[in-house]
A and B are shown apart, each in its own frame.
Chain A
Amino acid sequence: MLKILVCVKQIPDIDLVKMDPETGNLVRAGVPTLTNPLDLNALEAAVQVKESYGGEITLITMGPPMAESTLRECLAVGGDEAVLITGRPFGGADTLSTSYSIVKAADMEGRFDLIFCGKESQDGATGQMASQLAERFDASQVSCCLSIDEIGDGKLRATRVLETGREIVEATLPCLLTVEKDNFYGRLPSLKDYLAAKTAPITTYTENNIDGLDLNKIGVPGSGTIVPKIYPPELPEPGRIIRTGSVKSDVAALMDVLTEKGAL
Chain B
Amino acid sequence: MATYNKITPEIAGQLKAVVGEKRFFMGEDIDPNYSHDEMPIYGKYLPEAAVDVETTEEVSGILKICSANKIPVTCRGAGTGLVGGCVPLAGGLVLCTRRMNKILSYDMDNLVVRIQPGVLLKDLAADALTHGLMYPPDPGEKTATVGGNISTNAGGMRAVKYGVTRDYVLALTVVLADGRIIELGKSVCKTSSGYSLLHLMIGSEGTLGIITEMTMKLIPNPICDVSCLVPFRDVESCIHFVPKIKLANLDPQSIEFMDADIVTSSAAFTGNPIFPETVKNEDVGASILVTFVGSDEDELDQKMIRLGKIAEEAGALDVLVVATSSNKKAAWAARSSFLTAIEADTRLIDEMDVVVPVDKIPAFLIYIRRLGEEGGIRIRNFGHAGDGNLHIYCCSNDLEEEEFKRRVKIIMDKAYTKCAELEGQVSGEHSIGHAKMVYLRESVGEDVFRLMGEIKKVFDPDGILNPGKVCDAALRS
Q: Does chain A have a CB within 8 A of B5?
A: no
The stretch of A83-91, A105-113, A187-195, A204-212 in contact with B is A187-195
With A34-B326, A246-B29, A247-B29 as given contacts, are A190 and B321 in contact (CB-CB < 8 Å)? yes
Residues A188 and B320 in contact, CB atoms below 8 Å apart: yes
Q: Does chain B have a CB within 8 A of A245?
A: yes
With A13-B325, A185-B272, A244-B22 as given contacts, are A190 and B29 in contact (CB-CB < 8 Å)? no
Q: Does chain B have a CB within 8 A of A73?
A: yes
CB-contacts of B298-338 with A (<8 A): 301, 304-305, 307-308, 318-327
Q: Does chain A have a CB within 8 A of B28?
A: yes
Query: Inside 8 A of B90's CB, which chain A residues have their CB?
Result: none
Query: Inside 8 A of B276's CB, which chain A residues have their CB?
Result: 187-188
Residues A191 and B321 in contact, CB atoms below 8 Å apart: yes
Q: Does chain B have a CB within 8 A of A126?
A: no
Query: Inside 8 A of A37's CB, which chain B residues have their CB?
Result: 326
Residues A191 and B308 in contact, CB atoms below 8 Å apart: yes
Residues B325 and A245 in contact, CB atoms below 8 Å apart: no
Residues B304 and A191 in contact, CB atoms below 8 Å apart: yes
Within the complex, the shortest CB–CB distance from B68 to chain A, in Å, comes to 25
Within the complex, the shortest CB–CB distance from B208 to chain A, in Å, comes to 29
Residues B22 and A246 in contact, CB atoms below 8 Å apart: yes
Number of A-B contacts (CB under 8 A): 62
CA distance A13 to B328 in the complex (A): 13
Q: Does chain A have a CB within 8 A of B21?
A: yes
Query: Inside 8 A of A247's CB, which chain B residues have their CB?
Result: 28-29
From B21, B274, B307, B321, contact of A194 by CB (8 A): B321
CA distance A13 to B21 in the complex (A): 47
Q: Does chain B have a CB within 8 A of A121?
A: no
Within the complex, the shortest CB–CB distance from A13 to chain B, in Å, comes to 7
Q: Does chain A have a CB within 8 A of B23?
A: yes
Q: Does chain B have a CB within 8 A of A35?
A: yes
Q: Does chain B have a CB within 8 A of A249?
A: yes
Chain B minimum-CB-distance residue to A189: B321
Contact with B along A155-180 (1 / 0, CB 8 A): 00000000000000000000000000
Q: Does chain A have a CB within 8 A of B362?
A: no
With A188-B327, A191-B304, A191-B308 as given contacts, are A246 and B25 in contact (CB-CB < 8 Å)? yes
Query: Inside 8 A of B28's CB, which chain A residues have their CB?
Result: 247
From B23, B307, B318, B327, contact of A245 by CB (8 A): B23
Query: Inside 8 A of A191's CB, which chain B residues have their CB?
Result: 228, 304-305, 307-308, 318-321
Within the complex, the shortest CB–CB distance from B51 to chain A, in Å, comes to 10
CA distance A244 to B276 in the complex (A): 48
Size bin of chain B's contact surface: 20 to 34
Residues B323 and A34 in contact, CB atoms below 8 Å apart: no
Most B CB contacts (10 A, CB to CB) among A40, A185, A191 go to A191
Within the complex, the shortest CB–CB distance from A35 to chain B, in Å, comes to 7
Query: Inside 8 A of B324's CB, which chain A residues have their CB?
Result: 34-35, 73
Chain B minimum-CB-distance residue to A249: B22
Most A CB contacts (10 A, CB to CB) among B24, B274, B324, B325 go to B324
Chain A minimum-CB-distance residue to B25: A246
CA distance A195 to B308 in the complex (A): 11
CA distance A76 to B323 in the complex (A): 11
CA distance A13 to B324 in the complex (A): 12
CB-contacts of A30-77 with B (<8 A): 32, 34-35, 37, 40, 73, 76
With A35-B324, A35-B326, A246-B29 as given contacts, are A188 and B23 in contact (CB-CB < 8 Å)? no
Query: Inside 8 A of B320's CB, which chain A residues have their CB?
Result: 188-191
Within the complex, the shortest CB–CB distance from B15 to chain A, in Å, comes to 14
Within the complex, the shortest CB–CB distance from A18 to chain B, in Å, comes to 15
Query: Inside 8 A of B273's CB, which chain A residues have their CB?
Result: 185
Residues A188 and B22 in contact, CB atoms below 8 Å apart: no
Query: Inside 8 A of B22's CB, which chain A residues have their CB?
Result: 244-246, 249
From A34, A185, A188, A192, contact of B229 by CB (8 A): A188
Query: Inside 8 A of A192's CB, which chain B residues have their CB?
Result: 308
CA distance A246 to B49 in the complex (A): 12
Query: Inside 8 A of B308's CB, which chain A residues have their CB?
Result: 191-192
Query: Inside 8 A of B323's CB, which chain A residues have their CB?
Result: 189, 194
Query: Inside 8 A of B304's CB, which chain A residues have their CB?
Result: 191, 194-195
Query: Inside 8 A of B29's CB, which chain A residues have their CB?
Result: 245-248
Residues B301 and A195 in contact, CB atoms below 8 Å apart: yes
Residues B25 and A188 in contact, CB atoms below 8 Å apart: no
CA distance A35 to B308 in the complex (A): 26
Query: Inside 8 A of A249's CB, which chain B residues have their CB?
Result: 22
Query: Inside 8 A of A13's CB, which chain B residues have their CB?
Result: 325
Query: Inside 8 A of B25's CB, which chain A residues have their CB?
Result: 245-246
Query: Inside 8 A of B322's CB, which chain A residues have their CB?
Result: 188
Within the complex, the shortest CB–CB distance from A126 to chain B, in Å, comes to 21
With A185-B272, A246-B29, A247-B28 as given contacts, are A190 and B318 in contact (CB-CB < 8 Å)? yes
Query: Inside 8 A of A35's CB, which chain B residues have their CB?
Result: 324, 326
With A13-B325, A188-B320, A192-B308 known, 17 other A-B pairs at CB within 8 A are A32-B325, A34-B324, A73-B324, A185-B272, A188-B322, A189-B323, A190-B319, A190-B321, A191-B228, A191-B308, A194-B323, A195-B301, A195-B305, A245-B24, A245-B29, A245-B52, A247-B28
A positions within 8 Å CB-CB of B: 13, 32, 34-35, 37, 40, 73, 76, 185-192, 194-195, 198, 244-249
5 contacts across the A-B interface (CB closer than 8 A): A188-B274, A190-B321, A194-B304, A245-B24, A246-B29
**Shortest Cβ-Cβ A-B pairs, 6 listed:** A245-B22, A188-B320, A191-B319, A194-B321, A246-B29, A191-B308
